[in-house]
Structure 1
Amino acid sequence: MVPHYAERVRLLLTSDTHLPKRAKELPAPLLAELPRADVVLHAGDWVDTATLDLLESRSRRLIGVYGNNDGPELRARLPEVAHAELGGLRFGVVHETGPAEGRETRCAARFPELDVLVFGHSHIPWDTTAPSGLRLLNPGSPTDRRRQPHCTYMTAEVADGRLTGVELHRLPRR
């Protein structure tokens, strides 16, 4: 029997904001999601502390990590890996998970205690489930699409100990 969790948690997932290198500011649709989110998860590569300050000030709860492009100021304020229990699920956030090939198996072995792992680095949206049941989510980047057709971020909800409504949001090209 699955335990009942009264808590319903709306999530906003983002990564690789790279401000101000890739864009001057976060896209308006992403900023509009902040008041609707109970928790914002950012999987690293902020690049500037102003983005961290902005998300901290506008979010009910922010869970973030540093990425490979983040300097000493951000590394002093953020962990390399973050963990949180949200709505009965065990979440982890990390920037890098290595190459796409073998990702599910590698991450399940590295994070056996997690239900959901949010990661970044590649700027490529990703939503898969490892054979162990670990859900892997990469929201892409809202500011640097690289080889992707669109800049992106994700939203999701946790209710009754389940992750539901995972949605990839494609941002209009600038």
Structure 2
Amino acid sequence: MRDARTLLTPAGFESVAATVTDNNPDMADATAERIVTEALKYVAAAAQFPTVYIQPSKVVDEGWHALILHTQLYARLCEGLGHFVNHFPERPGPERHDPNVLTRTVALIEQAGFTVDSELWTGPAKPLVGVAANCSHTPVPGGCGPINPGNCATHGGGDGE
């Protein structure tokens, strides 16, 4: 299995984890590190499977937000992964919630070679910890997936099957 933490330098990883704890002052450092690790796995899977609509859990989204705030680090990360993974936030809305999206996301992260920290991949009603992030991710009109390629697969490795 791949180690997602190696996608960043140790200093970069520590800086992103510190951003998570800065935004969530009551959070333990170890929890912030777990969240950033899962966010890295999410970004790697999104880059590897750009036509599949996936999204992070609310908790993992906190780590993704922290990554994005480190713009140069995030740009280098995405460049190294082969695709820039855009963030299309919306306020959470139950009418847009796809009950299968987290299952699909976890499956693609595993297909990308990572082991998932399942405690951090729960639905909106069962988060492991509270986080500051408060957005959901839906495809932009006419597009789909975090990279917005235009033609969306519904599951699997982005092959449309």
Q: Normalized against structure 1, the TM-score is what?
A: 0.27
Question: Which protein has the bigger strand share?
Answer: 1
- Higher Cα Rg: structure 1 or 2? 1
- Higher relative CO (Cα under 8 Å, sequence separation at least 6) belongs to 2
Higher helix share: 2
